[in-house]
């Protein structure tokens, strides 16, 4: 089933002259079961976009088709519980997500609210905590007294605990250390490939999602100015630059390499070992005209 934005506009409320455009007649069609990264400069509309997937924000113009739901301007939020169970959203700032006295209560909230039996909810909560590397000793702690990274992991675990079909995560790896970042992205990729979950993730670090993302959406001024494959993202001249994104060193290297050897890049996701094999094969086939001394 598709997740479809049709001419979706979202204008934030505000005083005269202060209303801000979050989304501007945005068209976008995503398929379920994919790992999709959303890129874009600050203020381009990424968080506004993500909050539409489970109806936290409703469009002020246009409409969205999400799973079996049609979301339209001004509709009632009643009856959206099932949508929120199936589409889990991790906010950009974990403080927006957490509210309970203990980590465990926060983790239990989703599963209980969505109708799991107490024992099943407890199992789901502990499984999610474990998947995020949150030790049992943290479960009794106040989530607001945790470190930034632990709080972030708790917020993501609250989403995983409810076992949604679509995981929508706003900069989930921000404030995590490098090992935790890689563990989190591997976990999300496994959920996508092994359990068929859809992962839609905002990041400012293209390099960290290169090994995982199957599709990219690029936001600029409230519009999706690009939606396509990893290869298209990397090979389309000036695309990222026009949207105010600086291509990371790994991407600049791949572009130079493909130009230098006149070869097209493989399609992603770009795992380091696969890229190394690709580079080796190109060099073997076409040794540089002027060998490096």
Ligand X SMILES: Nc1ncnc2c1ncn2[C@@H]1O[C@H](COP(=O)(O)OP(=O)(O)OP(=O)(O)O)[C@@H](O)[C@H]1O
Query: Helix 148-161 and helix 118-131: axis angle, to 10°?
Result: 140
Q: What residues are paired with 66 via a beta bridge? A: 3, 69
Q: Note whether 22 binds ligand X by CB under 6 A.
A: yes
- Using DSSP's 3-state secondary structure scheme, residue 6 falls into strand
Query: Among ligand X, Mg ion, none, what does residue 242 contact (CB within 5–8 Å per kind)?
Result: none
Which among Mg ion, ligand X, none contacts residue 12 (Cβ within 5 to 8 A by kind)?
ligand X
- Count of residues in contact with ligand X, rule CB under 6 A: 13
Segment interacting with ligand X (CB under 6 A) among 41-49, 122-130, 137-145, 187-195: 41-49
Per CB under 6 A, 88 contacts ligand X: no
152: exposed, middle or buried (Cβ count in 10 Å: 0-12, 13-18, 19+)? buried
Tokens of 13: 């409320």
Q: Should residue 203 be labelled a site residue for ligand X when binding is judged by CB under 6 A? A: no
Q: Which is nearer to ligand X, 40 or 62 (CB)?
A: 40
- At its nearest, how many Å lie between ligand X and the CB of residue 122? 34
Looking at the Cβ atoms of 121 and 173, the one nearer to ligand X is: 173
Separation CA 18–CA 20 (nearest Å): 6
Residue 44 contacts Mg ion per CB under 5 A: no
Work out whether 154 is an interface residue with Mg ion (CB under 5 A).
no
Number of helices (H) and strands (E) in the chain: give both, helices first.
11, 10
In angstroms, what is the minimal distance from the CB of 244 to ligand X?
A: 10
Q: Which residues contact 218 (CB under 8 A, 6 or more apart)?
A: 38, 39, 40, 224, 225, 226, 227, 233, 239, 240, 243, 245
Single residue of 42, 178, 194, 264 touching ligand X by CB under 6 A: 42
Return the one option of Mg ion, ligand X, none that residue 51 interacts with (CB less than 5 to 8 A, by type): none
* 65-124 binders of Mg ion (CB under 5 A): 92
Per DSSP, the three-state class of 240 is helix
d(CA 17, CA 109): 40
Q: Which residue of 1, 2, 12, 277 would you call a contact of ligand X, by CB under 6 A?
A: 12
């Amino acid at each position: 089933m598709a997740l479809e934005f049709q001419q979706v506009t979202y204008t934030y409320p505000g005083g005269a002259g202060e209303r801000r455009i979050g989304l501007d007649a945005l068209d976008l069609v995503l398929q379920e079961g994919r790992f999709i990264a959303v890129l874009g400069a600050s203020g381009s509309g990424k968080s506004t976009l993500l909050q539409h997937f489970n109806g936290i924000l409703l469009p002020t113009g246009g409409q969205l088709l999400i799973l079996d739901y049609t979301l339209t301007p001004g509709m009632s939020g009643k009856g959206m519980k099932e949508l929120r169970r199936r589409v889990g959203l991790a906010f950009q700032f974990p403080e927006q997500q957490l509210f309970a006295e203990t980590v465990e209560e926060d983790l239990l909230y989703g599963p209980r609210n969505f109708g799991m039996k107490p024992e099943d909810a407890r199992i789901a909560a502990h499984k999610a905590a474990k998947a995020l590397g949150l030790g049992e000793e943290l479960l009794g702690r106040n989530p607001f007294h945790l470190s930034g990274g632990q709080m972030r992991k708790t917020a993501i675990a609250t989403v995983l605990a409810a076992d949604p079909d679509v995981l929508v995560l706003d900069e989930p790896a921000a404030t995590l250390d490098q090992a935790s970042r890689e563990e989190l992205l591997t976990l999300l990729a496994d959920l996508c490939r092994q359990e068929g979950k859809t992962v839609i993730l905002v990041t400012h670090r293209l390099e960290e999602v290169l090994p995982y993302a199957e599709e990219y959406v690029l936001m600029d001024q409230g519009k999706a100015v690009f939606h396509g494959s990893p290869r298209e993202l990397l090979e389309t001249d000036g695309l990222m630059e026009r949207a105010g994104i600086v291509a990371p060193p790994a991407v600049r290297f791949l572009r130079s390499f493909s130009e230098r050897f006149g070869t097209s890049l493989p399609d992603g996701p770009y795992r380091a070992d696969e890229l190394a094999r690709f580079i080796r094969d190109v060099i073997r086939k076409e040794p540089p005209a002027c060998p490096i001394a």
